[in-house]
Amino acid sequence: MSQFNLKKAKEFLMWILFPPCCPACGRSIARDEIFCPCCLKDYFPASSGDREWKQLPAGVNLYAAARYEGSMREAIHRFKFSGHAGSAAILAPLLVHALRENGVKPEEIQLLVPVPSRPKKVRARGYNQSALLAREVSRLTGIPFSETALLKTRDTRAQHDLNAEERQTNLSGSFRAEKAAVSGKHILLVDDILTTGATARECIGALKDAGASSVDILVLAVTQHETGYDGAANRV
């Protein structure tokens, strides 16, 4: 049996043993689906205007799959807070689609870097959801991936109960990038959600300080207003 056929057989066996489920509600879905038909009706793709209020540095491109509402909001909640680590493999194609829609070719990106999570959160959850997403995007596109190129050097308060100014102060100086890993490279920063942009700005600053030639952002969802969201998805 050829390697290609062996890979397909393994994928089919995994589908039989662990059938995919809708990341928003848990219903069974077909192999070529991401959301079940019911949840798909409540899925809202991101638009070009969704960069507003984020105050991202000049020259930084934002690629977002969806708006943080409806089915995507539920999917992120289940992914982050209910132990559904397998959602990364189901949702990652949406990130790849966001890149393609914006004309980004894999060979243009030299390294995928996930936003580091608070150490306390990683210990409690068992995984960093952004790292899982970045790893899946790497698998689908062939873009190199590093979970150690950007590190969080200290624990910080949860962001959800802070205003925009407090969030920036809370995160100031809490990230460090490895110069050997990022210097001279076009970096794609990967996260699950972009809210005020405070975390993203700090990460971009750390990557730039370490010599990254350029940094863009890829996220599953983006909020629609400056103050962010309901507090559950406490990140950027």
Beta carbons within 10 angstroms of residue 52's beta carbon: 11
In a domain, 54, yes or no: yes
With beta carbons less than 8 A apart as the criterion, state whether 130 and 117 touch.
yes
User: Which of 172, 232, 225 lies closest to 201, judged by CA?
Assistant: 172
The DSSP secondary-structure symbol of 172 reads T
CA–CA separation, 227 and 225 (whole Å): 6
Residue 111 domain boundaries? 42-222
Q: Are strands 175-177 and 150-152 parallel, antiparallel or unpaired?
A: antiparallel
In a domain, 95, yes or no: yes
Q: What is the pTM of this model?
A: 0.84
The answer to whether residue 228 scores a pLDDT higher than 50 is no
Mean pLDDT of 26-37: 93
- AA letter at 212: A
In a domain, 231, yes or no: no
Mean pLDDT of 25-43: 94
The pLDDT assigned to 171 comes to 61
User: Which of 144, 151, 166, 162 lies closest to 203, judged by CA?
Assistant: 151
In a domain, 197, yes or no: yes
User: Domains in the chain: how many in total?
Assistant: 1
In a domain, 134, yes or no: yes
> Can you state the angle between helices 198-209 and 164-171, rounded to 10 degrees?
30
The answer to whether residue 233 scores a pLDDT higher than 50 is no
For 75-92, write each residue's pLDDT tens digit: 999 999 999 999 999 999
CA–CA separation, 58 and 213 (whole Å): 13
Instruction: Please report, for the domain that includes residue 111, its CATH number.
Output: 3.40.50.2020
